[in-house]
């Protein structure tokens, strides 16, 4: 009896050993991190050198945890544009499908599950019937179908991805419903096969059929015992590769002529990417070596001479400095890199992996602003007439490349940092320093407590408090990153020169590190075109407004956009001049809560005929903020919210009246 009791006690202690050991490891790790943080603080207590305004120290080559952190920051920026009421990304139907699919890719790759509810929100709210102009220019027929067959297919792929992420069969069932609808547009009577691009059956093109190959192969690979979808995918692949849309250089032109020959139109990256992606999924279903050989030929052609690459960076034809990509083209490269990531994961070819890594590194280092927004030109190139564009579409596109750099074996621990506001503006008074508040946010994943050390660096002559500080985080896995914040006070001298000045925060915890910046604009005048980077520091609240080019920001329906003008404390009178048209409603406030209407279009004008410079006296609305400035908030919205032609602003100038 005694022996049995002792045996049970031994087993109980043995079973507890891993937990005891884990607890001691945690305790040891906390002590080590604390000692490291204290040592760093002591070393940094000596005067820290300031850097001139400009770029932070160069980032090291991204490792796994850093790649996860970068993707998390970019995904959070993207989801800040998601409209939970209409359950989409504003004013773009197929682009919303791709953006949500990208968020699903992010969650699947990193283990972060914070946005699963948004996917389901879209599924439940948007699966019904909608008239044209509500979510799409076309009427939606229910179950995410419409006359635009390629738009319909994007939603099919999105719901397969949601099924992969969650295991919920309602998403897979929806994808099958969508595919059954699309199958009705497969037609052998013209060009021997292929899916029509639209319900009017006017065009057979690359993207619609690349999507069809991928969607049918995905369904086969997820439906046990399927033969129907596999047969359709095989047939579609054979037709596509023999259709002539793949030219002699191995590049995919846009589609076929009425005579069923290659139309020679633009080689867009997403067409090339969909052909690669469709072939990869079908290869997984068949293991046919000829399919994989064709995929490799398409891939090699894409990154070969005179193809889709400029100086090693994926470049759309509309990325040229004398052009601007439209709202469709903004997302093409992201679709390419989604399936390029699949190529890397499938083949483990180091050439393909190196290309993917180059895209992610260029995006992060050259195509990112202080607010962690990612632009359309992944090289970061810009011009005055055709500036690099930053919006949610470009964010979703570039995020795909960042996701591709995350290792398939996801690192459990990561550390990220952001600043808020990431872009702020100061209009200094004639004398005396000015202060702004900046919040440093830190997020982490993992299973051990982290003692994060933050070191803040400001331009020469500026001061920041605290300069060095620590923050303790207690991660509890990777599904829901934990976060904390550190309030900072940045003091700007009155003699600070006009221009952009960077405040850099370097955050470390054990072997993890991450850098972020706040971009502080010092300005004595206000003069900017809308839809450009010059607008960003003044744009206090973009809400659901849109910008589809230089000198263009508009707010339709219930959307609006708000500028904040922090006039100096010694300002006694001021005015603003707006170049504005359409059905505008302009209101002014001292506190962003109580509004006074100062301009309103009373006629339903939709042709831009009322475009004019309009002057508003801001003197009665000069506020009194805690930082000593006199801010004025100016909001533009839609005077006739039911017809979709809200206020559109082209240029803003504000003056302090002497």
HEC string for 327-384: CCHHHHHHHHHHHHHHHHHHHCCHHHHHHHHHHHHHHHHHCECCCCCEECCCCCCCCC
Distance, in Å, from the CA atom of 332 to the CA atom of 250, rounded to the nearest integer, reads: 18
Distance, in Å, from the CA atom of 491 to the CA atom of 613, rounded to the nearest integer, reads: 36
Residue 91 lies in a domain: no
> What residues form DSSP beta bridges with 246?
252
Q: Quick one: pLDDT at residue 655?
A: 83
**Is the pLDDT assigned to residue 526 strictly greater than 60?**
yes
Mean pLDDT, all residues of the chain: 90
Could you give the angle at the alpha carbon of 651 between the alpha carbons of 583 and 590, nearest 5°?
Answer: 75
Q: Are residues 490 and 550 in the same domain?
A: no
Entry pTM: 0.88
* Interval 344-353 mean pLDDT: 97
pLDDT band at 658 (very low <50, low <70, confident <90, very high): low
**Is the pLDDT assigned to residue 494 strictly greater than 90?**
no
Distance, in Å, from the CA atom of 73 to the CA atom of 373, rounded to the nearest integer, reads: 9
Q: What is the largest CA-CA distance in the chain?
A: 99
pLDDT band at 31 (very low <50, low <70, confident <90, very high): very low
pLDDT band at 27 (very low <50, low <70, confident <90, very high): very low
Residue 505 lies in a domain: yes
Residue 259 lies in a domain: no
The percentage of residues in the chain with a pLDDT greater than 70, rounded to a whole number, is 90
Q: Are residues 566 and 621 in the same domain?
A: yes
What is the separation of C-alpha 596 from the centre of its chain, rounded to a whole number of angstroms?
34
Q: Are residues 509 and 555 in the same domain?
A: no
Q: Are residues 512 and 533 in the same domain?
A: no
Number of folded domains that form the chain: 2
Pairing of strands 512-522, 423-426: parallel
Q: Residue 120 is encoded by which pair of tokens?
A: 């389901």
CATH number of the domain where residue 599 is located: 2.60.120.260
Distance, in Å, from the CA atom of 207 to the CA atom of 271, rounded to the nearest integer, reads: 5
Who contacts 391 (Cβ-Cβ below 8 Å, separation ≥6)?
81, 330, 373, 547
Could you give the angle at the alpha carbon of 301 between the alpha carbons of 316 and 313, nearest 5°?
Answer: 40
What is the separation of C-alpha 31 from the centre of its chain, rounded to a whole number of angstroms?
38
Q: Are residues 531 and 512 in the same domain?
A: no
Q: Quick one: pLDDT at residue 28?
A: 41
Contact between 584 and 600 under an 8 Å Cβ cutoff? The reply is yes
DSSP string, 391-458: SHHHHHHHHHHHHHHS-SS--S-EEEEEEESSEEEE---SSS-EEEEEEEEEEEEESS-EEEEEEEE-
Q: Are residues 530 and 504 in the same domain?
A: no
Contact between 303 and 359 under an 8 Å Cβ cutoff? The reply is no
Q: Quick one: pLDDT at residue 533?
A: 84
**Is the pLDDT assigned to residue 4 strictly greater than 70?**
no
Among 500, 522, 544, the domain boundary falls at 522
- Convert the pLDDT of each residue in 310-320 to its tens digit: 999 999 999 99
* Interval 283-287 mean pLDDT: 98
**Is the pLDDT assigned to residue 434 strictly greater than 90?**
no
Among 522, 541, 573, the domain boundary falls at 522
Residue 129 lies in a domain: no
- Map residue 9 onto helix, strand or coil: helix
Q: Residue 376 is encoded by which pair of tokens?
A: 């359309």
Q: Is the dihedral of CA 147, 151, 153, 155 positive or negative?
A: negative
**Is the pLDDT assigned to residue 433 strictly greater than 60?**
yes
Distance, in Å, from the CA atom of 86 to the CA atom of 91, rounded to the nearest integer, reads: 10
Residue 596 lies in a domain: yes
Q: Residue 127 is encoded by which pair of tokens?
A: 């699966």
* Interval 557-571 mean pLDDT: 92
Residue 197 lies in a domain: no
Q: Residue 261 is encoded by which pair of tokens?
A: 């020959």
CATH number of the domain where residue 502 is located: 2.60.40.2310
* Interval 350-363 mean pLDDT: 98
Contact between 411 and 65 under an 8 Å Cβ cutoff? The reply is yes
**Is the pLDDT assigned to residue 30 strictly greater than 70?**
no
* Interval 514-542 mean pLDDT: 93
Residue 486 lies in a domain: yes
* Interval 234-238 mean pLDDT: 98
Q: Are residues 505 and 538 in the same domain?
A: no
Q: Residue 11 is encoded by which pair of tokens?
A: 């087993």
Distance, in Å, from the CA atom of 410 to the CA atom of 479, rounded to the nearest integer, reads: 12
Among 283, 268, 301, smallest CA distance to 345 is for 283
Q: Are residues 538 and 642 in the same domain?
A: yes
**Is the pLDDT assigned to residue 14 strictly greater than 50?**
no
> Picking from 1-10, 306-315, 531-540, which range would have the lowest pLDDT averaged per residue?
1-10
Among 522, 553, 569, the domain boundary falls at 522
Q: Are residues 507 and 603 in the same domain?
A: no
Q: Quick one: pLDDT at residue 65?
A: 96
- Convert the pLDDT of each residue in 76-114 to its tens digit: 999 999 999 999 998 789 999 999 999 999 999 999 999
- Convert the pLDDT of each residue in 161-214 to its tens digit: 999 999 999 999 999 999 999 999 999 999 999 999 999 999 999 999 999 999
- Convert the pLDDT of each residue in 34-53 to its tens digit: 444 434 433 333 333 333 33
Report the C-alpha dihedral over residues 593, 433, 54, 562, rounded to 10 degrees: 10
Q: Are residues 559 and 442 in the same domain?
A: no
Per this entry, what is the length of the chain?
A: 658
- Convert the pLDDT of each residue in 379-419 to its tens digit: 999 998 888 999 999 999 999 999 999 999 999 999 999 99
Contact between 107 and 115 under an 8 Å Cβ cutoff? The reply is yes
Among 189, 358, 331, smallest CA distance to 274 is for 331
Q: Are residues 547 and 517 in the same domain?
A: no
Contact between 186 and 195 under an 8 Å Cβ cutoff? The reply is yes
Distance, in Å, from the CA atom of 509 to the CA atom of 414, rounded to the nearest integer, reads: 9
Contact between 522 and 496 under an 8 Å Cβ cutoff? The reply is yes
Q: Quick one: pLDDT at residue 449?
A: 95
Q: Quick one: pLDDT at residue 429?
A: 83
| Domain interval for residue 453 | 413-522
Residue 257 lies in a domain: no
**Is the pLDDT assigned to residue 60 strictly greater than 90?**
no
> What residues form DSSP beta bridges with 514?
507
Q: Are residues 554 and 454 in the same domain?
A: no
- The number of beta carbons lying within 10 Å of the beta carbon of residue 4 is 8
- Convert the pLDDT of each residue in 252-279 to its tens digit: 999 999 999 999 999 999 999 999 999 9
């Amino acid at each position: 009896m005694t022996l049995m009791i002792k045996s049970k006690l031994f087993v109980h202690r043995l079973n507890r050993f891993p937990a005891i050991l884990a607890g001691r490891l945690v305790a040891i790790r906390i002590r080590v991190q604390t000692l490291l943080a204290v040592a760093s603080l002591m070393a940094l207590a000596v005067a820290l050198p300031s850097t001139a305004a400009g770029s932070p120290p160069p980032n090291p080559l991204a490792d796994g945890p850093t790649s996860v952190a970068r993707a998390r920051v970019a995904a959070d920026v993207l989801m800040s544009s998601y409209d939970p009421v209409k359950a989409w990304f504003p004013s773009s139907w197929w682009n919303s499908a791709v953006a949500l699919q990208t968020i699903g890719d992010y969650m699947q790759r990193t283990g972060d599950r914070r946005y699963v509810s948004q996917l389901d929100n879209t599924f439940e709210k948007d699966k019904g019937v909608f008239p044209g102009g509500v979510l799409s220019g076309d009427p939606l027929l229910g179950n995410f179908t419409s006359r635009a067959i390629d738009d319909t297919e994007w939603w099919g792929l999105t719901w397969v991805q949601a099924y992969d992420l969650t295991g919920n069969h309602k998403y897979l069932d929806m994808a099958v419903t969508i595919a059954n609808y699309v199958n009705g547009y497969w037609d052998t009577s013209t060009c021997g096969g292929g899916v029509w691009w639209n319900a009017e059956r006017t065009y057979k093109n690359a993207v619609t059929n690349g999507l069809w190959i991928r969607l049918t192969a995905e369904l086969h690979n997820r439906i046990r015992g399927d033969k129907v979808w596999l047969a359709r995918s095989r047939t579609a692949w054979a037709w596509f590769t023999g259709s002539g849309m793949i030219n002699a250089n191995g590049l995919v032109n846009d589609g076929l002529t009425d005579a069923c020959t290659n139309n020679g139109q633009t080689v867009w990256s997403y067409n090339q990417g969909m052909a690669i992606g469709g072939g990869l999924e079908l290869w997984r279903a068949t293991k046919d070596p000829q399919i994989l050989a064709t995929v490799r030929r398409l891939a090699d052609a894409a990154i070969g001479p005179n193809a889709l690459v400029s100086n090693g960076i994926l470049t759309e034809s509309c990325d040229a400095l004398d052009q601007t990509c439209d709202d469709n083209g903004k997302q093409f490269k992201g679709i390419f890199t989604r399936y390029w990531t699949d190529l890397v994961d499938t083949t483990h070819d180091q050439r393909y992996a190196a290309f993917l890594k180059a895209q992610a590194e260029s995006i992060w280092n050259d195509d990112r602003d202080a607010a962690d927004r990612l632009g359309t030109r992944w090289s970061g190139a810009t011009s005055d007439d055709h500036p690099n564009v930053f919006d949610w579409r470009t964010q979703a596109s570039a995020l795909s490349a960042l996701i591709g750099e995350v290792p398939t074996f996801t690192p459990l621990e990561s550390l990220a940092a952001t600043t808020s506001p990431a872009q702020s503006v100061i209009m200094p008074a004639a004398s005396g320093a000015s202060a702004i508040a900046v919040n440093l946010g830190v997020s982490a994943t993992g299973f051990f407590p982290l003692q994060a050390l933050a070191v803040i660096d400001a331009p020469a002559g500026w001061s920041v408090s605290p300069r060095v500080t620590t923050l303790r985080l207690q991660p509890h896995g990777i599904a829901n990153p934990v976060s904390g914040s550190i309030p900072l006070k940045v003091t700007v001298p009155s003699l600070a020169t006009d221009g952009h000045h960077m405040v850099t925060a370097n955050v470390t915890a054990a072997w993890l590190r991450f850098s972020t910046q706040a971009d502080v604009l010092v300005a004595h005048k206000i003069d900017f075109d809308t839809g450009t980077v010059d607008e960003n520091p003044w744009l206090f609240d973009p809400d659901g407004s849109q910008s589809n080019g230089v000198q263009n920001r508009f707010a339709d329906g219930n959307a609006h956009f708000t500028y904040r003008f922090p006039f100096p404390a010694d300002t006694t009178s001021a005015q603003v001049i707006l170049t504005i048209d359409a059905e505008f409603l302009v209101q002014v406030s001292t506190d962003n809560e109580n509004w006074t209407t100062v301009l309103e279009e009373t006629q339903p004008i939709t042709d831009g005929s009322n475009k004019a410079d309009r002057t508003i006296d801001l003197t009665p609305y000069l506020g009194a903020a805690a930082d000593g400035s006199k801010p004025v908030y100016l909001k533009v919205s839609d005077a006739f919210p039911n017809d979709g032609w809200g206020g559109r602003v082209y240029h803003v100038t504000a003056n302090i009246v002497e």
